[in-house]
Structure 1
Amino acid sequence: MDIATIIGWVLGFGAILGGAALEGLHMKAILQPTAAIIVLGGTFGAAFGSFPLPSILKAAKDAKKALFPSQQNPEGTIKDLIGYAAKARRNGLISLEQEAQNVKDPFTKKGISLVVDGIDPQKLRETLEIEVHHYEEHEKVSAEFFEAAGGYAPTIGIIGAVLGLIHVMQNLSDASKLGEGIAVAFVATIYGLVTANIVCLPLGTKLKQRLKTELLQKEMVIEGLIAIQNGENPHFIEQKLRAFVQESGKK
């Protein structure tokens, strides 16, 4: 579980609700089902209208990555690549054919198979980079969906506020309820801003960060396999791959 996401949501919602309570605002004034229906329904209705159904379903599935990210093990990957390099240096590239059958990661498995086939290093890089590019294009859609929803939410919140004010204007004869009615109308604006800036946009950013980590891991695999293809010293390959681990730590 990603603790940072939990802490972020607790801090975000806690600061808003806590600040409201310190100002003496009753929680009942913030809990407005009508405003929630307008903002959430309008926001995700607009987002659904912007993306094809497969992308929407993928975004819903990938949302759990914010809390339960896939485990990345760069140290394990480096260890495996060094092992492949040592075996190839000792017994030749063809000796990696058996190794390819035991690799769980499809990307690494494909790369090893290409190395065994004796493909030119430049062609190997081009082939794997094309696959990485298509993987990135496919995976970034989920982040784009939540970023789009985050863009729509504040505007939908304003629409909800305007609808509430229209209702207030229709009841100007009862001056005692004007203040309460206007307050209720602006709750929709709060819902729109909170939905965008605490939920949707951070979720999109988190998914982008997850994708960056995955792409960095794939780049490390590419560099390692090309080094193996070129017959480089396993110790030198390890030093080269360590740079990826340091870069990943900075992210």
Structure 2
Amino acid sequence: MDRLSVIGAILAVVALLVGSVLKGAGLSALWSPAAFVIVICGTVAAILLQTPAATFKRAMKIARWVFRPPSQDRHALIARLVGWSTVARKQGLLGLEAEVQAQQDPFLRKGLQMVVDGVEPEAIRQMLEIDMHGQSSRDLAAAKVFEGMGIYSPTLGIIGAVLGLIAVMKNLADPSKLGHGIAAAFTATIYGIGAANLALLPMASKLKGLVHHQTEEREMIVEGLIAIAQGENPRNIEARLNGYVH
């Protein structure tokens, strides 16, 4: 669990609710079914029109990364790669065959299998890099779904405000309805700007950072596996891979 993300989400809600109370608007001013339909449903509709189905499904799947990021201990991963290099130098590449099926990460398992099979190092690099860049591109596209929603929601908030003001203008003959009508109109703007700046855009930025982090880890795996396939000294492999540890 990412504690900073949890704290940030809680503070965002508290800031909005407490701010509304301190400004004298009250909590009831933040609830508007019409604004919800226009802004939230409209934002979802816009992003569905923009996004391929596979990308949208991937976006929904990785959304949990904001609070539960995919973590891998790089120090432990380096130790594992160095251990494999030691085994390979003593027993040969076939000595690693038992390790292949034990790997949870499909990328790591595929790479290790190619090493055991004696595939040429350059061929291993090419195939793994294709997989790495393909997965990175798909995940970045999924992260940009939330970025797109963060771009659309403020505009839809303005549309909601304009529609609310149109309703107010129709009731100019009844001054008792003007104040409530104007307040309700601007609730849509709060929904749009609040959703974008307190949730959607921060989520997109967080997810893109996590995708970049995963790509770095895969680059480290590729370098380690290539070094094992080439029979490099375990100490040299460890020194090289430590450069990926921040």
TM over 0.5: yes
Which residue number in structure 1 is paired with residue 233 of structure 2?
Answer: 233
1:186 and 2:189 equivalent? no
Instruction: Using the TM superposition, give the Cα deviation of residue 81 of structure 1 relative to its aligned residue in structure 2, in angstroms.
Output: 0.4
Residue matched to 1:63: 63
Is the partner of 1:25 in helix, strand or coil?
Answer: coil
User: Shift of the alpha carbon at 1:61?
Assistant: 2.3
CA shift for structure 1 position 163: 0.4
Q: What secondary structure is seen at the aligned counterpart in 1 of 2:101? A: helix
* Residue identity in the other structure for 1:144: K
- Aligned to 2:108, the other structure's residue is in SS state helix
Find the counterpart in structure 1 of residue 74 from structure 2. 74
Query: What is the DSSP-based 3-state SS (H/G/I as helix, E as strand, rest coil) of the residue aligned with 1:125?
Result: helix
Letter in 1 for 2:3: I
CA distance, structure 2, for counterparts of residue 101 and residue 192 of structure 1: 48
User: By how many angstroms is 1:176 displaced?
Assistant: 3.1
Q: Tell me which amino acid in the other structure corresponds to 1:122.
A: E
Match of 2:130 in 1: 130
Q: Which runs of 5 or more structure 2 residues have no equivalent in the other structure?
A: none
Paired letter, 2:225:
L
Q: Which residue of 2 aligns with 1:102?
A: 102
TM-score (norm 1): 0.92
Relative to the length of structure 2, the TM-score reads 0.93
Give the counterpart letter for 1:127 in structure 2: M
What 5-or-longer segments of structure 1 have no aligned partner?
247-251
Cα root mean square deviation, aligned: 1.6
Question: Secondary structure at the residue paired with 2:18?
Answer: helix
Report the identity percentage. Answer: 44
**TM superposition shift of 1:202:** 1.3
Post-superposition shift, 1:240?
1.4
Which shows bigger deviation, 228-237 or 51-60?
51-60
1:107-150: CA deviations, max 9, x gaps?
11211222233333222212211110111122223211111111
SS at match of 1:224: helix
Q: Distance in 2 between matches of 1:28 and 1:87?
A: 66
- CA distance in 1 between partners of 2:99 and 2:171 (Å): 76
**1:35-93 deviation line (CA, Å, top 9, x unaligned):** 11211010111111111223222222221221222231222211110111001111222
Letter in 2 for 1:228: I
Partner of 1:90: 90
Shift of 1:222: 0.5
Q: For residue 38 of structure 2, what is the aligned residue in structure 1?
A: 38
Work out the CA distance in 2 between the residues paired with 1:187 and 1:41: 15
* In 2: Cα distance, 1:110 partner to 1:61 partner: 23
Cα deviation 1:200-227 (Å, max 9, x = unaligned) = 1111122212212221111111111111
Comparing 148-157 with 19-28, greater Cα deviation is found at 19-28
| 1:111 counterpart SS class | helix
